[in-house]
Structure 1
Amino acid sequence: MPLDAQQIAHRFAALTPEARRGFLARLQDAGLNFAELPIVPAPRDGRPPLSYGQRGLWLTWRLDPDSAAYNMGGVLRIAGALDVVALGEALRRLVERHEVLRTVYPADDDGEPWQQILPATAPALPLTDLRHLPECERAATLAELEQALISMPCALDREPPFRSALWQLADGQYALGLVLHHIAGDGWSIGILIDELLALYESAATGQPTSLAPLPVQFADFALWQRNWLEAGEKERQLDYWRRRLDDGEYAPLALPRPQDGAAGDGAHTVLLPAAQTARLQQLAQDSGASLFMVVVALLQATLHRFTGQERIRIGTPMANRQKAETHGLIGYLLNLQVLAGEVDARMTFAELLAAVRDTALGAQQHPDLPFDALVDALQVERRAGEHPLFQVKCTQQAATPTLREVAGLRIELAGAAAGEAHFDLSVDFLLGTDGMTLTLAYAARRLDAATVAQLADTLLAFAAQAADAPTSRLADWAAPGSAGALAGPVSAWTHANVVE
């Protein structure tokens, strides 16, 4: 990076919006890429704007402020002589280090939200002692307390988005519940939060300094940098691509069967693709110049096509959006959603479908910076409570994370919290392991029922096996378990009622 890169970035930030457009054009004429310039700290005067992604979540919250769908929760099981005072100090230092953990989002007189960064104070850490309960009751009580913590709505306009609770199960046995609203974090952020909390606890408990380097910028700096860059012309450039991909005026939401009234809570269904078949899919991906993620997206599109009879299938996928070095250590909602739009025809072979998915995914990767919520606004998609715009099904490849830690004489296990509300109709997450590929289908009970999701999962597994064995076979010739197998031929002639009844 040239020595004057910081000066160029500061100069750009100080310009008026109109002047930034000309400045960006001159940079491009000089062969300089603005995206390679550093993010620089911004003054804390005025009212910092939200990032595009944050603003979308804030608008969703305003539609349904009592929803806990965007709460992310987890539990640390702690064994050993926990220093509760040191834990409280670690939480205080964490909140001091990351402004986003102590930021609220009120609206101005025009109804536009802004970031109000509160002073750094120790967050509440209520301690509930469960040792008086019979041992057989503690697990159930703890599960109820975990559920209550993660299900508690967050008033984003006046409450910080981060909260915690500590439960003592026995002498030397604790559970620490942590909840972070999505407006302040993403999956990447959770790893940072846990790593730094444990490092800060060790420092507080032992009196030794931490090795954590100072953060070069805060999330509010990223949000302002993002807006300045995109509004100087980059948004229009990337939006042109996405309009061509999505603004067709003919897309209809997936016609999956809805559950009867009175459906139970949101749920998940997990299945395993054996290691041998997983290896064949990985080989297929390699031979096709694709990734395993692209293979799974193609399989998911084929499955949804079989169930709905629809040819236009959209799958959403999250992108880390942390290309900038300054963002690697930030807690914050940097994640971006992209829409992979596909055309599925039962007369296609799976190899042909995979090639189409590959081209779509590579095109999306070349246009990664347009925030999803800017796309929603540009396409004038109406936001409705309980409905996700532009797509209803999400697919993610998960990374394995260590579950056990040892810190300052404590043995710490990372455990999942009780499930919160789903905010997609269907989320398909897959994880590679030594025994194969685990696929988890999480669903919103208001949109899908358990039986339908189980049938979707079985069909997805059946299609995966057939793709691994015969990728040049036609989709119409693939067999599926149960009633989904009835659709062999031009699937578009069938309605979803024929599939599931």
Structure 2
Amino acid sequence: MFVGRTDDQVKIRGFRVEPEEVAQVLGRLDGVRQAAVISRRRTNGESVLAAYVVPTEPDLGDAAEQELRTDRWARELSRRLPEYMVPRTWCTLARLPLNSSGKLDRTLLPPTAPLAPAPIDEVHQPEGPRPVAVALTSVEKGLRDLWAAELDLTDAEVDPDASLFDLGGHSLTAMRLVNRIRETWGVEYPLTRLYQQPTLRALTEFVDEGRSGRVVRRGPATEQQTRFATLHSRHARPQVFNVALSITFSGRLEPGALHDALENLVRRHESLRTRLVRESSGTWRQEVLEFRPFDLPVEDLTSQGEPERQEQLRRLTEQATETPLDPFTGDVLSARLVRTGAEAWVLLFVAHHCTCDGWALTTLLKELAALYRAAATGAGHGLPPAPPQQVEYAHWQAAHQEATDRRRTDYWLEELADAPFTPDLPLDRPRPDALSGRGGVIRFTVPAEVRAAVERLAARRSTTPFVVAAAALGRLLTTKAEQDDVVMNISYAGRESREFESLVGCTATGFALRVRDARSGSFAELTDRVTRTTVLGMEHAMPPRRVAPAMRQRRDIRIPDGLAIGLAYESSLDTGIDIPGLTTTVAEIAPSASRSEFIMVLSPAGDVLEGAVEYSADLWDAATVEAWSRDYVRLLREGAEEPLTDEAG
């Protein structure tokens, strides 16, 4: 039966409709005891029909079953009524609210939910792990907001796989969406395509491709690409994933030849024109885009005075480092050439970290020099004709992990079983619930005599300078935190196959280095312990986040998504560029942001070690980190120059 009123005529998309008529048909459907249909006005002024149903069987509280039942009623109505008369929002009630006259009391009706039918085969899914919720990319969020506004829904109510028309859209909605997409993203979306594939997911993929270019091939994302995609979409300051260089040229540079060299780099290496796309399952894939001409803006500052020139260069450098790149559109490389003198130039070169690591950066710089020489002289560049690519690396990596993950996981379950994952370091201010991403970089130098002492100690203990550096950092942090052990994430090159040694892509992975009993005792003995742990860690290298599920299931121990402390020793990074007629210097530049709480990077440079600490400004002041850097160099000196004893000998 139905409960309604006879003077209730509304206009739906230009058609006059009596909701009472719809309620009569709805009330005769199987499973419906009572029904009422009213019109509601969306925030955009459009009227839609809302249905309220009292079912013959009581609600069991199963949302999936309720959704199936609502979907069945909507389908049955669509076979009996014109499409515009089918309600777009629904609500099931135990009883309809009536006034004292026995008529429907509309003021007591609750809000209705949009119709979002679920296919039967998607309702009863076997139990298992669900995809981890991942933050939306800028295009995904913009399109979801657009759909929500047009359909008068909340963001959470927009199912990316539901039909626009099942969510209450119609031909006018479709036209408005197409117009807004053109205005906002400059992409011409065919109206016929929207009718053929009327889902937000299909729309997002089309807009992404329209902004980025034609896809020439696809493949699974590497573990590193997946990680960076997730972190980039979540981080408040995604420019922290910029790998930025300031390359100074002194001499007679040919800008045209440099432009040609950069374009040929992009042609050769697919990672420099690859975008990352999320699958419906929540996993990621990589899509290689067709080569498009690469833009190299040139700015001439030679007409300005020295103070103005330096200030403008500083502003341009800051702009380059602070502008986020976008791995979701394939905008992963940018460059700007600045002329600062008659024979003085600065190239601001920025790549997204998902395209390169320290090893790959060395390859890029060597190839840039070779390609420049070839463009300037007309001679051959002498580079291999077919460099390895990330799609092939992704397939190799998946097979390698399948073959080795069980052995690696078993090791880490033992090594990290009782590890202190979060060091209790003194803070300059209370820890916030979530880090904002604000940060800075403190640079320091390990003097030549200290580096030499480190290398002598490493040779005596049959280990590497990295191990000595890690032991000193472990002693610093455990001393500050007043605890015996510390766990830090170690950046590891991950070039485990000769086939991919010259790959321009990020293969760097990480493993957890647990430094035990670090606060006191012989530094040489501490170095020996760290050596053993490091060798085992490298043999079983696996990021802690991949150990986390097994640790939780088998040991009921939770490993944080990212470790607070990180250490990288960039012995593979070589920033030398050999171009005849030009003197070049390469300097890394960093944005005012932080990927984690505390990351130390050490790089051999000449006869010294150049150090940098990337730190969270939510936790520490620059002065604190500067003092810790001085303490680190002192501990490194004291440890490396520690007199030999019989025990340590």
Structure 1 and Structure 2 fold alike (TM over 0.5): yes
Counterparts of 2:484 and 2:464, CA distance in 1: 23
Q: Which residue of 2 aligns with 1:270?
A: 444
Letter paired with 1:258: L
TM-score of the two chains, using structure 2 as the length reference: 0.60
Letter paired with 1:122: P
Q: Which residue of 2 aligns with 1:464?
A: 636
Letter paired with 1:267: V
Q: Which residue of 2 aligns with 1:334?
A: 507
Equivalent pair of 1:80/1:411 in contact (CA under 8 Å)? yes
CA positional deviation for 1:263: 12
From 238, 243, 250, give the equivalent of 2:408.
238
Equivalent pair of 1:274/1:435 in contact (CA under 8 Å)? yes
Letter paired with 1:77: T
Equivalent pair of 1:269/1:453 in contact (CA under 8 Å)? no
User: Are residue 90 (structure 1) and residue 264 (structure 2) matched?
Assistant: no
Equivalent pair of 1:102/1:117 in contact (CA under 8 Å)? yes
From 158, 170, 178, give the equivalent of 2:329.
158
CA positional deviation for 1:188: 1.0
CA positional deviation for 1:312: 2.4
The 1:313/1:234 distance shift into structure 2, 3 A limit, reads: same
Letter paired with 1:272: V
Give per-residue Cα distances to partners, 1:24-49, cap 9 Å, x unaligned. Answer: xxxxxxxxxxxxxxxxxxxx997411
Identity of aligned residues (%): 25
User: Are residue 323 (structure 1) and residue 323 (structure 2) matched?
Assistant: no
User: Are residue 448 (structure 1) and residue 617 (structure 2) matched?
Assistant: no
SS at structure 2 position matched to 1:114:
strand
Q: Which residue of 2 aligns with 1:422?
A: 594
CA positional deviation for 1:419: 4.4
Q: Which residue of 1 aligns with 2:339?
A: 168
Q: Once structures 1 and 2 are overlaid, which stretch shifts more, 127-136 or 219-228?
A: 127-136
Counterparts of 2:519 and 2:586, CA distance in 1: 44
Q: Which residue of 1 aligns with 2:467?
A: 294
The 1:45/1:167 distance shift into structure 2, 3 A limit, reads: closer
> How many positions carry a matched residue from both structures?
424
Q: Once structures 1 and 2 are overlaid, which stretch shifts more, 439-448 or 179-188?
A: 439-448
The 1:290/1:45 distance shift into structure 2, 3 A limit, reads: same
CA positional deviation for 1:196: 0.9
CA positional deviation for 1:358: 1.3
TM-score of the two chains, using structure 1 as the length reference: 0.76
Q: Which structure is higher in RCO with an 8 Å CA cutoff and minimum separation 6?
A: 1
Counterparts of 1:415 and 1:465, CA distance in 2: 26
Residues 126-275 of structure 1: matches in 2 within 5 Å? 126-231=297-402, 233-248=403-418, 251-260=420-429, 265-273=439-447, 275=449
Counterparts of 1:472 and 1:175, CA distance in 2: 52
Q: Which residue of 2 aligns with 1:304?
A: 477
Equivalent pair of 1:52/1:373 in contact (CA under 8 Å)? no
CA positional deviation for 1:222: 0.5
Letter paired with 1:190: L
CA positional deviation for 1:418: 4.9
CA positional deviation for 1:136: 1.9
Residues 23-42 of structure 1: matches in 2 within 5 Å? none
The 1:120/1:373 distance shift into structure 2, 3 A limit, reads: farther
Letter paired with 1:270: F
Residues 75-114 of structure 1: matches in 2 within 5 Å? 75-114=246-285
Q: Once structures 1 and 2 are overlaid, which stretch shifts more, 155-164 or 261-270?
A: 261-270
Letter paired with 2:361: I
User: Are residue 116 (structure 1) and residue 290 (structure 2) matched?
Assistant: no
Equivalent pair of 1:91/1:122 in contact (CA under 8 Å)? no
Counterparts of 1:347 and 1:179, CA distance in 2: 43
The 1:57/1:403 distance shift into structure 2, 3 A limit, reads: same
Return 5+ residue gaps in structure 2 as ranges.
Answer: 1-214, 431-435
The 1:124/1:169 distance shift into structure 2, 3 A limit, reads: same
Q: Report the aligned-residue RMSD.
A: 3.1
Counterparts of 1:102 and 1:377, CA distance in 2: 33
Return 5+ residue gaps in structure 1 as ranges.
Answer: 1-43, 475-501
The 1:69/1:398 distance shift into structure 2, 3 A limit, reads: same
User: Are residue 69 (structure 1) and residue 69 (structure 2) matched?
Assistant: no
SS at structure 2 position matched to 1:68:
helix
Structure with max Cα Rg? 2
The 1:186/1:280 distance shift into structure 2, 3 A limit, reads: closer
Q: Which residue of 2 aligns with 1:491?
A: none
Give per-residue Cα distances to partners, 1:209-263, cap 9 Å, x unaligned. Answer: 21011235311100111112322x3212211112221243x52412223334999
Letter paired with 1:204: A
The 1:326/1:81 distance shift into structure 2, 3 A limit, reads: same
Counterparts of 2:417 and 2:332, CA distance in 1: 34
CA positional deviation for 1:95: 0.7
Counterparts of 1:410 and 1:289, CA distance in 2: 41
The 1:135/1:108 distance shift into structure 2, 3 A limit, reads: same
The 1:206/1:376 distance shift into structure 2, 3 A limit, reads: farther
Give per-residue Cα distances to partners, 1:65-86, cap 9 Å, x unaligned. Answer: 6421111010222233433333
Letter paired with 1:359: R
Counterparts of 1:400 and 1:263, CA distance in 2: 26
Counterparts of 1:413 and 1:46, CA distance in 2: 37
Counterparts of 2:267 and 2:320, CA distance in 1: 23
Equivalent pair of 1:293/1:397 in contact (CA under 8 Å)? no
